[in-house]
């Protein structure tokens, strides 16, 4: 099953990239369908485990799938939905292992590092400034929770959760950089898609692959 969903995700991702400039409606449908493969992987794990954490991960992935579309129509709305998805991931990781002092320290390190990376661009964010700061806080805490819950979980599940969270962070930082620097190279966009789809699939499939 995992190979089939991975292949279908890749095909829909390629279709999105090819259609983005020519047929926006179909492109957005393909973008959401690609993420739906991560939702499918998450559903498979949740049905197998029958635990609340698994269903929270599914909920987070569904919100990411919705945000994929909304983000390209109304950025602030998409950011809000993605943030809500991360809150679902945080709740799932919390159930696996409650936060520790290390969680807070890692969160602060991530938050300060990202703010530092974009320190010269903050002034130009205008109406996106508050949503960006709030989203970064939620994303940073999600990553720190993935690490401090994934580490004691161990095995493939723990490794996949941590890797997925960090790939999400990398993807979102690249999106932010592309936005503030107005980068339009196709290669940059392809890297973004690879990072994002890898992130959601790793999180979705962590409990069973």
pLDDT digits (tens, 9 = 90+) for 36-67: 999 999 999 999 988 999 999 999 999 999 99
d(CA 56, CA 35): 16
In order of 7, 32, 79, 123, 155, the CA distances from 38 in angstroms are 11, 10, 19, 36, 20
pTM, entire model: 0.94
1 has a pLDDT exceeding 70: no
Per domain, the residue ranges of the chain are: 2-205
In this prediction, what percent of the chain has a pLDDT beyond 90? 77
Helix H or strand E encompassing 163: helix 155-181
Q: Which of 110, 176, 23, 57 is nearest to 65 (CA)?
A: 57
Predicted local confidence at residue 199, as pLDDT: 97
Token pair belonging to 163: 């890797």
Predicted local confidence at residue 5, as pLDDT: 93
pLDDT-based confidence at 178, cuts 50/70/90?
Answer: confident
pLDDT-based confidence at 2, cuts 50/70/90?
Answer: low
Query: What are the respective helix, strand and coil percentages of the chain, to the nearest 5?
Result: 85, 0, 15
Tokens 């690249």 correspond to: 174
pLDDT, tens digit, for every residue of 99-150? 999 999 999 999 999 999 988 888 777 778 888 899 999 999 999 999 999 9
């Amino acid at each position: 099953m995992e190979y089939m969903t991975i292949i279908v995700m890749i095909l829909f991702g390629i279709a999105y990239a090819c259609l983005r400039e020519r047929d926006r409606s179909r492109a957005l449908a393909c973008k959401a369908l690609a993420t739906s493969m991560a939702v499918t992987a998450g559903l498979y794990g949740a049905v197998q485990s029958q635990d609340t954490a698994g269903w929270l991960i599914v909920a987070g992935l569904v919100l990411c799938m919705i945000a994929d579309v909304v983000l390209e129509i109304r950025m602030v709305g998409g950011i809000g939905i993605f943030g809500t998805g991360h809150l679902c991931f945080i709740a799932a990781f919390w159930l696996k292992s409650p936060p520790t002092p290390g969680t807070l320290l890692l969160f602060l390190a991530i938050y300060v590092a990202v703010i530092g990376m974009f320190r010269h661009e903050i002034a130009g964010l205008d109406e996106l400034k508050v949503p960006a700061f709030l989203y970064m806080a939620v994303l940073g805490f999600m990553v720190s929770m993935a690490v401090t819950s994934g580490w004691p979980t161990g095995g493939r599940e723990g490794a996949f959760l941590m890797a997925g969270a960090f790939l999400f962070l990398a993807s979102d930082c690249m999106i932010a950089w592309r936005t503030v620097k107005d980068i339009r190279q196709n290669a940059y966009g392809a890297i973004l898609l690879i990072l994002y789809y890898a992130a959601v699939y790793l999180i979705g499939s962590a409990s069973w692959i």
